[in-house]
Structure 1
């Protein structure tokens, strides 16, 4: 559905842009094909409107939870994206490191080791952009 005619998708798209940035969302939109369109609609409507748009947790808290889940499940590409989002949502590098230290205990040292490597790369890239 077109965002202009679907207020739920439009609201989810606004949250997605606020958390992930315009460049990421524009790339995702540009890469959308007829095959992936329904998936993009699902992500925008459910993840970004129905979950990230809920008032029960602020975006900083949602970033903390998301980082942990991505480390636990080994979703490295998504982890890199959400390290960027965590920074945009106000988490400091020290807070991100604390989350990753916590994952070492509950998700395993190898998972945290990979996460630290990915986060360090992303944070250096972000510092280079500023």
Structure 2
């Protein structure tokens, strides 16, 4: 849970936990245990690399809501906006231009929200 909070932010994790019910509790527990407790804590890759891989996978599969969340996480993990731009550009070649186009729009919106809150 500590890594999940560090990467996604306490506000997001608190919101996810507040939304748990009898139907979703097992899924939230699975995510916390395996994604955040097993994969994100492995020593083999730095968090910046894990973020880059995650962003690319989300672009490839069209999971744009999750992509927005992980753009914020990537910034928290130490990637900057230029690096995120390069990840999306690289993804345009391997995941498709329409997918990258959508990802650019989502990232741009995330950056605007962050700038407006600052």
**In the alignment, what sits opposite 2:66?**
78
Structure 1: 4+ residue segments shifted above 4 A: none
| 1:126, distance to aligned residue in structure 2 (A) | 1.2
- Whether 1:25 and 2:13 are equivalent positions in the alignment is yes
**In the alignment, what sits opposite 2:34?**
46
Where does the alignment leave 5 or more consecutive residues of structure 2 unmatched?
Answer: none
CA distance in 1 between counterparts of 2:93 and 2:75 reads 23
Q: How does 1:1-130 map to 2 (within 5 A)?
A: 13-130=1-118
Where does the alignment leave 5 or more consecutive residues of structure 1 unmatched?
Answer: 1-12
Cα RMSD, aligned residues only = 0.6
TM-score (norm 2): 0.98
CA distance in 1 between counterparts of 2:117 and 2:31 reads 28
TM-score (norm 1): 0.89
Please identify the structure whose Cα radius of gyration is greater. 1
